[in-house]
Amino acid sequence: MMFKLPSLFAVVFLFSSFSVMANSPLKMDVFIETGAEKNVFAPTGRKVSEFNVYRVDTLKIVEENMSKGLSADPSEAKEQVLAMMNSDKFRNQYSIDMMEGWSTINKVVRLGIEKVPAVVINDKYVVYGVSPKEAVTIYDQYIIRYGN
């Protein structure tokens, strides 16, 4: 008879853990390389307060795009870059992309991301190499086993 109470308690605790997890909104940050975004979707069946996708190679792509067509002559290339920096295209596209790229790199360093793809949940937990949906499953299993 004494064993039934602890067992009942464990069952109630387990169900209350599922209930709390299902009702706790998640903040998710997904770090990928450009081109992988077609496979990135917010998980369904779970409250997600924020879902952000960051492309870690944005700065490299901006640099490649800006370098296209530059002269091999350094002084001529310098003039071309200066003209580009004063253009509407630079102000409206490249400068914004560069700021987003540096912001992403800052986040990667701050969060300690070691490789991509990576899914960061609530700025605390990171899962590598899986979809956001799979990351939530792994996160839930971790929380059930180890707690917050």
Q: What is the pLDDT of residue 44?
A: 84
Characterize the bridge pairing of strands 48-55 and 125-128.
unpaired
Q: What is the pLDDT of residue 36?
A: 86
Q: What is the pLDDT of residue 51?
A: 95
Q: What is the pLDDT of residue 136?
A: 95
Residue given tokens 């464990």 in the structure block: 10
Nearest to 132 by CA among 48, 21, 34, 22: 48
Across 37-122, the runs of DSSP E, i.e. the strands, are: 48-55, 118-121
pLDDT along the chain (148 residues), means of 10: 38 44 82 87 87 96 90 93 88 90 96 96 96 94 91
Q: What is the pLDDT of residue 49?
A: 92
**What is the fold of 1-56+113-148?**
Glutaredoxin (3.40.30)
The domain spans of the chain are 1-56+113-148, 62-110
> Cβ neighbours of residue 78 under 8 Å, at least 6 residues apart?
none
How far, in Å, CA of 32 to CA of 120, rounded? 12
**Phi, psi (degrees; rounded to nearest 5) at 48:** -125, 115
